Amino acid sequence: MDDQTLADLAKAVKEYDGDGAAALAGRALDAGTDPKAVLDVLTDAIREVGDAFGAGELFLPELVSAAEATQQAMPIVEAAFKASGGTRSSAGKVVAGTVAGDIHNIGKTIFCTLLTADGFEVIDLGIDVPVARFVDTVRELQPDLVAMSALLTITAQEQKRVIVALGEAGLRAGLKVIVGGGAISQPFADSIGADGYSPTAPGGVTLARELLTG
């Protein structure tokens, strides 16, 4: 194992260097480093950035940049897992998306990146996702958790519509639903029947783990 390369990889994520992170991940794998060890470095680095953001030591642009750096390196590591015939152990399957009428992407994308780094299998439906697509995806893929984002007050009620539709389709039992976004608060999440709420992407990952292991 090339410890220096792994240390440089962690540094690249924390310094928001996506090209460097991708190159260093490839270098470590080419040197025979276990893909899991490379993934662990990426996970620890992005967690450190997320914790600093949660503590108010870093700001949103820095969290976004670190997530983008992680995203650039992640496909290289995933490809190495597949090439070796190995698979990552999954912390759970999550379907995520920004609800219909809302095209805000940054928070949801950061959340999905952090989830992936933390060992979750993530199906990112993107932005402006209609109720029916959430329902159809849950029916087809049977995830453990659905995560919805809404930044706008006028689109927040779409989260409730998804939850109601999941119940009407008989898909709510055993399925956890969490919500977030600028338009959402804990009282609102409680009022629409969500299982949890977090105001930040790192907090959402912690919440997902608590709900699926608690």
Read off the pLDDT of residues 57-101 as tens digits, 9 standing for 90 and up.
998 889 989 999 999 999 999 888 888 776 677 889 999 999 999
* Token digits of residue 166: 């999941």
Read off the pLDDT of residues 44-56 as tens digits, 9 standing for 90 and up.
999 899 889 888 9
CATH code for the domain defined by 93-213: 3.40.50.280
- The stretches in the chain having pLDDT less than 70 are 1, 86-87, 214
* Alpha-carbon distances of 36 from 73, 157, 197, rounded to whole Å: 13, 40, 30
Instruction: Report pLDDT for 81.
Output: 83
* Token digits of residue 170: 């008989």
3-state helix, strand, coil in the chain (%, to 5): 60, 10, 30
Q: Position of tokens 């932005």?
A: 127
Instruction: Report pLDDT for 163.
Output: 98
Number of C-beta neighbours around residue 126 at 10 A: 14
Q: What does the alpha-carbon distance between residue 14 and residue 44 come to, in Å, rounded to a whole number?
A: 10
Instruction: Report pLDDT for 198.
Output: 95
* CA 112 distance to own-chain centroid: 2
CATH code for the domain defined by 3-84: 1.10.1240.10
Q: Where are the domains of the chain?
A: 3-84, 93-213
